[in-house]
Amino acid sequence: MKRILLLLSGLLLIWVQTSAIQTFSVWGVKPNLLLMGVILSAMRWISPGMLVFACLAGLSQDAYSHGMLGVYGLSFLGTAGLAYVGGRSFFENNWLFIALLVSLLTLAEGLMALAILRVVEGQIPVMGWFFHLTLPVALYNGVLTFPALWLLTRLARLVERD
């Protein structure tokens, strides 16, 4: 049941991230719900399979972002690896710690993606993109972590009942 729920939630996040994300836009900043789902899943369910899920999620975002294929796949994989390591210090009842970690890992993913783009593309304004794109998304993902954790807690209770 847990695997089916993870698969369905992953597909739902991919659909929301690629089609309905404009609904969540605030002042032009769109959250990266797929990345937030990867981070929370990698922190919650520590297994090597989550790294595969992260890479596939990143590749699916690459496919729909009209960007260079592989950038998000590699950066999501690296971020899931960091979340996998940070998941050992996961405090289930400390939502503030989790929100802070989601924000920091979103910043790390943005830096990884920018570093990959810098190597491949060459001349890109890394600091400009970091402060205008990555930092607002990281803050937004941190704020959205609280309702996401509430929803995950409710879903976990639902799965436990069955």
Q: Under DSSP, is residue 26 helix (H, G, I), strand (E, B) or coil?
A: strand
**The residue count for the chain:** 162
- Under a CB-based contact definition with an 8 Å cutoff, are residues 95 and 146 in contact? yes
Q: What is the pLDDT of residue 102?
A: 84
CB atoms within 10 A of CB 95: 15
Kindly give the confidence (pLDDT) of every residue in the chain, 162 residues in length, as a single tens digit, with 9 standing for 90 and above: 666 776 777 777 777 777 767 677 778 778 787 888 888 877 777 677 777 878 888 888 777 776 677 788 888 888 888 887 776 666 566 778 888 888 888 888 888 888 888 888 778 787 887 887 888 888 888 888 888 888 877 777 776 665
Q: Under DSSP, is residue 42 helix (H, G, I), strand (E, B) or coil?
A: helix
Q: What is the pLDDT of residue 59?
A: 82
Half-sphere exposure of 162 (CA within 13 A, CB side): 7
Largest CA distance in the chain: 54
Two tokens, residue 67: 């960007």
